Amino acid sequence: MSASAGARRWRAQLEEAVLPAVVALLIAALVGDVLIIVYGQSPGEVYRALLEGTWGNAYGLGQVLYKTTTLTFTGLSVAIGLRAGLFNIGAESQLAAGGFAAGVLGTLLPPGLPALLVLPLFIVAAAIGGGAVGGAAGVLKSKWGAHEVITTIMLNFIVLALLNYLTVAHFKVFDTLHTADVRSGALPRLSALIPPFHGSAANMVLFLALAVVAVAWWYLFRSRAGYELRAVGLQPGAAEYGGVNVPGVWWRAMLISGAVAGIGGLNFVLGYKHYYEDGFSTGAGFLGIAVALVGRNNPVGVVLAALLFGTLSQGGLAVNALVPKQMVDVLQAVVIIAVVTSVPEVRRVLRSARRRGGPEA
Amino acid sequence: MTAPDGTTPPTPDGAPPLAVSLRGIDMSFGPVRANRGASLDVARGEIHALVGENGAGKSTLMRVLSGMYAPDAGTMTVNGRDVTGWSTAQAIDAGVGMVHQHFMLVPTLTVAENVVLGREITAAGRLDRRGAERAVAELGERTGLVVAPGRLVSELSVGEAQRVEILKTLYRGARILILDEPTAVLSPPEVDELWRVLTHMRDTGDTIILITHKLDEVMAVSNTVTVMRRGATVGRVATRDTSPAELARLMVGRDVVLAGDAAAAPQHSIRAERRAALDVRELTVADARKTHAVDGVSFAVEPGEILGIAGVEGNGQTELVEALAGLREVSAGAVLLHGRDVTRQSVRARGDAGLSHIPEDRQLRGLVLDYSIADNLILGQQHRFSRRGAVDAAHVLENARRQIERFDIRPADPAAPARALSGGNQQKIVIAREMGRDFTVLLAAQPTRGVDVGAIEFIHAQLRNARAEGKAILLVSADLTEVLALSDRVAVMYGGRFAAVLPRAEATKEVLGAYMTGASGRAA
């Protein structure tokens, strides 16, 4: 009885997690149809082009995976914050700060060190870069009650301007907006393992992303710190009663959230270009918010949502010949709105359907 | 009298139709069958008590009646009209209104603004504040529900907030009023006041359905009683033809020892140790408005003793308990556990020093509602259930199985979310967690608020056992019967101070009542 009740609850949770996303995609496709027709194109052709340009060939898929990797980090960053009841809008600048720290470290290391040996150093540097920005917002909230939405937005401006200044004034290669190549630590592309991916940006940081997802899942759902963090997010009063230092959880959660976004900078710096370039993070941080929402703040859901948004981002380039690529931006927006609004709606329908299905259905 | 739609159909035998008639109501939530063939007949112009244990399906049945849920099976008539599966809007239009156990008020709006919310009086698109306040004042005068319409809801006492809830429902034209455990949060004078208002409303033709656990209330105000057990209706009797013992038997399905007549004089246990387990010295706590919520209170609780604190809510009891638990900053004074000063120590350090705490609000503090029963059973103890940073899932599950069994928590499913449980079973989680572990001092704030007679009996037995085992217990309760049934000494809190501390033998309801209202003994 208890086992079957457990199985039933599992199935119900799965349905409630997956169905809203499916419904949202259908709604987005429908809106897309209308837009494409208004633009004088055939929806079938545009969607075919979108699929062919992304999942239809190895290069396209590689590009999708590259974008998915960054979005996994920023989505996870936002999701961890939300689990603690904090809305981190600053993944954009935390990602950039992490990338910058890694890029600068790369120019300081002696050349020719094995990539695997120095990778931990880069992870720590990127985590410190992103964590400093997120942690600052966390401390501002814990000590003085400054709302994290305001402070992370403000920090986006401050940090991005500061990084721009540092790059331009001190670190750039002449006539560019990027730093010099890292002297050690560059990671191979995915094509080194799977040759058909040749030319695409997908790289070994993809596996680092999956590892971080696994650690984050363990941290949130299996560790004592995660138990306390989620309690703070759900009911701060009950967490406080349970002996949890609520302000302490706030700054730690923001620190971790920023660090995860910061490590995402390695995807560009170590995996793709091998240098830090001003503005590489543009948009990825904000899209992380959408990824977290669609992924329901669950690390596994975040990966799937990142894959969806990675596909749409790359697909925008693929359909550019038929319709403006901004149309895909509109589709992304529709997905977000549909998911956010459809979650409670779909849940209600599911629950009443289950109820009507009889007591044991 | 006519129904709101003006088409009261005469019944075949010419008698006026029943105000409410529910027949064969089935209502399931997933695998949980909250109502199974439940029925309810309520005549017009009566106060009808609906009683039953937690999880008996009373609240669900009333939510069906008020249109929040459509029943899976069964028929519903109101004033003779078939209304099966109607919506809340239709129910309100037909004059059926429900006052919920948990208040649904906007704290930053005034009384009048809350009452008219959704039915605002407007003049050229602007809210007519004066008109609203006038209308609310008039309604208050007519029904005896007096609350100043211009005051902010955040400034109201619990009793006043409840009056606003009732006013809100009446303002929407309710003639059939459903009250879900209205006295759970009220002091005795406030309860008396509520009964006066409800009786007055009944006498002017309104129909009242009262969901309650407290049998003395049933006996005091109702005309008819319907008893539910495990989702079904098991009895309907005229109040004058029944007794509390009979009702308790119907509710639980067996004989029950009632708190009032059980241990009028609690037997004194042997006190092994004379040193105070909890020692409080000149404790002062500031509240949000920087006045002293607790004003220089001193007392001690010895091992094997229950010190009861009586008092009208809002006289500093909440702040006192929270300060003792480490949840609220102390502005002056000291708290000692077994002679050790813990005034500046964290909640966790106090817990490790042997302090257990049953908080007054289980939904806000005592439980993380979206956590499972198993996860809630370790709240505050999570560091004891962890190894090298990881929560020990096997240990948590084993603990849950043991506590569920020992405290009879239903459903007996460690993975069920606390939110899905009835109030009494939620409270059992809190009791199981706080009393099912090693502790020496217990702060029990409103331990039986909103739970049924069966659970009250159980919780009281737990408290008596703990006393017999030499635990020191500080009991804070708005229920005088409870304080008198359990305490060895009774303190009365008034205006942030102890107005009196009396041995049990000298504490009678009359004497305590006088201290509670500040009428006697303005003690320093």
Per-residue pLDDT tens for A225-244? 999 999 999 999 999 999 99
Provide, as residue numbers in chain A, all residues whose Cβ is less than 8 Å from the Cβ of B413: 2, 5-6
- B contact test, residue of A235, A296, A350 with most B CBs within 10 A: A235
Q: Which residues of A touch B359 (CB under 8 A)?
A: 241
pTM listed for this prediction? 0.74
Distance CA A342, CA A215 (A): 30
A356 touches chain B (CB under 8 A): yes
Question: Confidence band (pLDDT; 50, 70, 90) for A359?
Answer: very low
Q: What chain B residue is nearest to A3 in terms of C-alpha separation?
A: B413
CATH of domain B16-95+175-184+202-254: 3.40.50.300
Domain annotation covers residue A45: no
In chain A, the residue whose alpha carbon lies closest to the alpha carbon of B26 is A359
Nearest to B63 by CA among B162, B207, B178: B178
Q: Is residue A332 part of a domain?
A: no
The Cα-based distances of B93 to B40, B46, B97, B163, B171 in angstroms read: 21, 21, 9, 21, 12
Amino acid identity for residue B492 in this structure: V
Whether A20 maps to a domain, the answer reads no
Q: What is the pLDDT of residues A25-38, one digit of tens each?
A: 888 889 989 999 99
Q: Determine the pLDDT at residue B117.
A: 85
- Cβ contact, residue pair A2, B413, below 8 Å: yes
Give the model's pLDDT for residue B272.
Answer: 39
A223, A231, A360: residue with CB nearest B368: A231
Please indicate if any CB of chain B lies within 8 Å of the CB of A5.
Answer: yes
The CA-based diameter of chain A, rounded to the nearest angstrom, is: 72
Domain count, chain A: 1
| 3-state DSSP assignment of residue A325 | coil
Exposed/middle/buried for residue B509 (C-beta within 10 Å: 0-12, 13-18, 19+): middle
Q: Looking at beta carbons, which residues of chain B come within 8 Å of A296?
A: none
Nearest to B28 among A218, A239, A355 (CB): A355
Distance from CA of A2 to the nearest CA of B (A): 7
Q: Is the CB of A225 inside 8 Å of chain B's CB atoms?
A: yes
Contact A301, A295 (CB under 8 A): yes
Residue of chain B with shortest Cα separation from A354: B30
Q: Where are the beta strands (DSSP E) in B19-91?
A: 20-29, 32-42, 47-52, 73-78, 81-82
Q: pLDDT of A47-73, one tens digit each?
A: 999 999 999 999 999 999 999 999 999
| ipTM exceeds 0.95 | no
What is the rounded average pLDDT for all residues in chain B?
A: 86
Q: What is the DSSP secondary-structure string of B414-429?
A: TTSBGGGS-HHHHHHH
Instruction: Note whether A248 contacts B: Cβ–Cβ < 8 A.
Output: no
Per-residue model confidence as pLDDT tens digits over B467-488: 999 999 999 998 888 999 999 9
The continuous run of DSSP H or E covering B491 comes out as strand B489-494
Q: Which of A241, A244, A360 to mutate to test the interface with B (most CBs of B within 10 A)?
A: A241
Measured at the alpha carbon of residue B412, what is the angle toward residues B352 and B360, in degrees to the nearest 5?
A: 45
Contact A277/A268 with Cβ under 8 angstroms? yes
Nearest to A319 by CA among A80, A48, A11: A48
Mutation target vs A (from B27, B72, B321, B365; most A CBs, 10 A cutoff) = B365
Q: Which residue of A has its CA nearest to B417?
A: A9
CB < 8 Å to A228, chain B: 382
A–B: how many Cβ contacts below 8 A?
91
| Contact yes or no for A231 and B386 at CB 8 A | no
pLDDT surpasses 80 at A353: no
Report the pLDDT averaged over residues B172-178: 91
Contact A37, A44 (CB under 8 A): no
Q: Of B72, B380, B393, which has the smallest distance from its Cβ to A355's Cβ?
A: B72
Indicate yes or no: CB of B382 within 8 angstroms of CB of A228: yes
Facing A237 at nearest CB: one of B351, B364, B389 = B364
Check CB contact of B419 with chain A, cutoff 8 Å.
no
Give the one of A224, A238, A240 whose C-beta lies nearest to B391's C-beta. A224
B264 touches A: beta carbon within 8 Å:
no
Residue ranges, CATH 3.40.50.300, chain B:
16-95+175-184+202-254, 278-516
Residue B337 has pLDDT above 90, yes or no: yes
d(CA B83, CA B64): 11
Euclidean distance between CA atoms B145 and B367, whole angstroms = 33
Q: A83 near A297, Cβ under 8 Å? A: yes
- DSSP class of residue B264 equals S
Q: Is residue A23 part of a domain?
A: no
Q: Which CATH number fits domain B278-516: 3.40.50.300, 3.40.50.2300, 3.40.640.10, 3.40.50.12280?
A: 3.40.50.300
Indicate which of A1, A224, A252 best probes the interface with B, i.e. most B CBs within 10 Å of its own CB.
A224
pLDDT in tens, A133-150: 999 999 999 999 999 999
> What CA–CA distance (Å, rounded) separates A314 from A52?
11
% of chain A surpassing 90 pLDDT: 70
CA separation for the pair B59, B212 (Å, rounded): 10
Minimal Cβ distance to A223: which of B347, B351, B389? B389
> In this predicted structure, what is the pLDDT of residue B192?
84
Between the ranges A96-105, A107-116, B221-230, where is the mean pLDDT highest? A96-105
Q: Given an 8 Å threshold on Cβ–Cβ distance, is B379 in contact with A242?
A: yes
Q: Annotate A230-258 with DSSP letters as a single string.
A: HHHHH-HHHHHHTT--HHHHHHHHHHHHH
What are the helix (H) ranges across A39-167? Answer: 43-54, 58-83, 91-108, 115-144, 148-166
Asked, for residue A327, whether it belongs to a domain, the answer is no
pLDDT digits (tens, 9 = 90+) for A323-337: 888 888 888 888 888
